[in-house]
Structure 1
Amino acid sequence: MNKSYGNHLVKNIFKIILAFILLFIVGMMVGALIGGGNILTPLLPKTWVHIFQFMK
């Protein structure tokens, strides 16, 4: 294995993680829209506080 293969692998893993995060946020926004709420509600800090409190 050479250094360029490692760099390529790290870049691909980063792209996959970034795509997962973006799709997760878009999915939350669509869910909020379907549920009759504001589409920007998932981006508010109070929503994340509620989610983390629910997970405890």
Structure 2
Amino acid sequence: MKRDFGKEYRRDIFKKVGWVILFMLIFFVLGMLIGSGLGGSNPLAVLWPGTWIHMFDFLR
């Protein structure tokens, strides 16, 4: 017996995966904001480009 993995089935799977990725991104950003705020600095500092440049320079 052959299963039919048509466009509808694939679209539903990709939609669910997309929602999971979106929620992961939202919770990642919220976690960074909360962690930065609890650490004693400006919570919005994690959104500044200079912070990300510093982190990527640190990883090199």
Give TM-score scaled by structure 2 length.
0.84
**Larger relative contact order (CA 8 Å, sep ≥ 6):** 1
Find the counterpart in structure 2 of residue 29 from structure 1: 33
Find the counterpart in structure 2 of residue 18 from structure 1: 22
Distance 1:51 1:8 in 2: 37
Give RMSD over aligned pairs.
0.9
Q: Percent identity?
A: 36
Alignment equivalent of 1:39, drawn from 29, 36, 43: 43
> Where in structure 2 are there 5+ consecutive unaligned residues?
none
| Number of residues of Structure 1 aligned to a counterpart in Structure 2 | 56
Flag as ranges the 4+ runs of structure 1 deviating above 4 A: none
